[in-house]
Structure formats: C-alpha cells, structure tokens
Structure 1
Amino acid sequence: MKDSPPVQVPPPHPAKDALDHVGYRLKRAHAALRRAMDQALREHDLTVPHYACLEVLAARPGLSNAELARATFVTRQSMNVVLRGLQEAELIDRPASVETGRARPTTLTGEGRRRLSAAQGAVYAIEARMIETVPGERLTGLLEDLDRIARALTE
C-alpha cells in the first residue's frame, strides 16, 4: 500500500503559520508569565506551585490535597511534593491524621501568611505589568474571552 499525501486541514482562523495560532500565542504568554514569576518568587524562596498553593489556602483554608491540586492545576502527586516542601518550611499546618476520611485539611501558619504577603507584592507587580498593556476598556472583555476559552475546552 502506497503512502497517500497528507490531507491538508484548513486552520480555524487566518494564520500565516503555527506561530500565528491562538493556542501558540496563549502558550507564549503563559511561558512569559511563568518565567517572570519564577524569577520573582526565587527571591522569596518559593516556586510557582508553592505560591499558588499559599494563595489558594489564604482564600480557602482547610482544603485537601485533591482540592488544592485542582485549584492550582497540578496533579495530586505533584501536590504531595508541594505540600511536603511547604510543611518542611513551616509555611502550612496539616494534621498527621484525621478522625474520619482520608483528606487532611491544610492551613497557613503565621510564617506562611508572612511569606505569602511578601511574595504577593512581586507577583502583583507582574500582573500589573501585564494589565497595563491592555487598554482599560478591553480588559473586562479579555478576561471574559479567557473564561469562555477555558469553558469551551472543559465542557
């Protein structure tokens, strides 16, 4: 059987090449954000997953490993590593065991709240740099568009 020529699939929108696609541009923006956050958080002895976990726990104390993993976009196995690191640094409290079930609720320690507060300034400055590039009247629309994109890919 001879190999047939590949079928040409038209792009979903006018694009010169792969670098012009929406997905590529989203990934490029995400990579730039991640690099900036990695650099800023290094000064606070945190990684992006550590920081994300602290932010979520500040807003929703008592979440389980699985809930934290979902909220911070990592696997449960990765969250185990993140939580272990945060616990060793005495930034979070987790009971050794629970009376019922397996989920061990996690909360920030005083040092965890202090470290989060110190790191927030750096991270919020990065977000401010992103936002100032978007004309004010377009920011709400951009946020709504990003939410619609996420929903379209998860529903």
Structure 2
Amino acid sequence: MSQDGGVIDLEVSVGYLLKQASAALRIAMEDVLRPLGMTVTRYSCLELLAQRPGLSNSALARGAFVTRQSMNVLLQALQKEGLVTRPAQPSVGKVLPVQLTASGHAALREASEAVRAVEVRMLGGLSAGDQTRMLDALRSVVRSLGTPDEPPLADRNDEETSSTS
C-alpha cells in the first residue's frame, strides 16, 4: 500500500477507511438509538458502567471518548433521570464511583439489543475467521498507536477501579 510522493491515496489508506467505517458505524448506531432517547455517548456510558461498575467520571470520559466536563454533564442528566447513582461524598480520595440503577439497566438492555443488531449487520459479510482476524488486527493497531507510558484503556480502567475500591 505505497503512497506516492507524499500524497495519500484515499482508496488504499487504512486510516481513511477506518475513519469512514467509524463514521458509518456511528451513524447506524445513532439511527437505532435515537428512537430510544439515546445517543452513542449516553449508550457508551451506560454500557461501560454495566461492565465496570464504579468507574469514575474520568474513566467514563476516556471510555466514551469525550471530555471530563462533557461526561460530568451527562452523568448529572443520567442521575436526574434515575439511570445512575453517585455518592454525594467520595469514600476515598476525590473519586465519586458511578453505578447503574435498575432503570439504567433496563434502558441499557433495550439499547444494547439495538446496537448489537447494527454490529451483526456490520459484520454480516465476514466469515467467523475474518471477524477474528479483523479483531486481532484492530487490537494490534490500538496497541501500536498507544503511548508507551500509558496502558490501554481497559488496563487504565482496571487500575482506577482497583485503586478506588
């Protein structure tokens, strides 16, 4: 996949194709989440909390690819709607661990089904082997582009939750 004379050929640019795939996935997810009163960021936050209860605002922001300020606004809204709870005071340090409520779990179940249908559609043209190779390749890309002094997101979240327990 050579790029001639410093000009990137978009037809063979892996980065450009990844960005196209990311945009197409986001649009498809927004389309199925909108009728449920959700956005991709809201869904991502709820999904992260279901899989890693007690995450902090900072860890949620990193996991949902938004700023801490944006995540704080979202968490306040989710708390007002009764989908998450946060203690008024931190038990240790400054971290206010967030938990899903029963209503939050119910909203997430419906959203997860919709998002899973998008993912099934996205992968429909790939064999099981191709899907495995794609996952391996994407994980390799993430590892290669990560900064050496910063662990991958999953490791950072695990460290944060274990240090706040």
Give the TM bin, normalised by the shorter chain.
0.7 to 0.9
| In the alignment, structure 1 residue 80 sits paired with structure 2 residue 75 | no
Cα deviation 1:87-135 (Å, max 9, x = unaligned): 1221100112224311101000111000000111110000000111212
- Which structure 2 residues correspond to residues 76-115 of structure 1 after superposition, within 5 A? 76-115=68-107
| In the alignment, structure 1 residue 59 sits paired with structure 2 residue 51 | yes
The one-letter code sitting in structure 2 at the alignment partner of 1:54 is L
Change (3 A) 1:115 1:144: same
Of the three residues 124, 130, 134, the one matched with 1:132 is: 124
Gaps of 5+ in 2: 148-165
State the shift of 1:20 in Å. Answer: 3.2
The 10-residue stretch of structure 1 (40-49 or 81-90) with the greater mean CA deviation from structure 2: 81-90
| In the alignment, structure 1 residue 47 sits paired with structure 2 residue 39 | yes
**Which is helix-richer, 1 or 2?**
2
Structure 1 runs, 4 residues or longer, greater than 4 Å off: none
- TM (norm. structure 2) is 0.81
The one-letter code sitting in structure 2 at the alignment partner of 1:9 is G
| In the alignment, structure 1 residue 34 sits paired with structure 2 residue 26 | yes
Q: Secondary structure at the match of 1:20?
A: coil
The one-letter code sitting in structure 2 at the alignment partner of 1:100 is V
Of the three residues 138, 142, 151, the one matched with 2:143 is: 151
The one-letter code sitting in structure 1 at the alignment partner of 2:6 is V
**2:6 corresponds to which residue?**
9
Gaps of 5+ in 1: 1-7, 12-16
Give distance in 1, aligned partners of 2:106 and 2:115: 15
Give distance in 1, aligned partners of 2:35 and 2:106: 14
Give distance in 1, aligned partners of 2:134 and 2:78: 34
**1:3 corresponds to which residue?**
none
- TM (norm. structure 1) is 0.86
Give distance in 2, aligned partners of 1:99 and 1:124: 36
How many pairs are equivalent? 143
Please, what is the CA RMSD of the aligned residues? Answer: 1.4
State the shift of 1:66 in Å. Answer: 0.9
State the shift of 1:10 in Å. Answer: 6.3
| In the alignment, structure 1 residue 68 sits paired with structure 2 residue 65 | no
The one-letter code sitting in structure 1 at the alignment partner of 2:48 is V
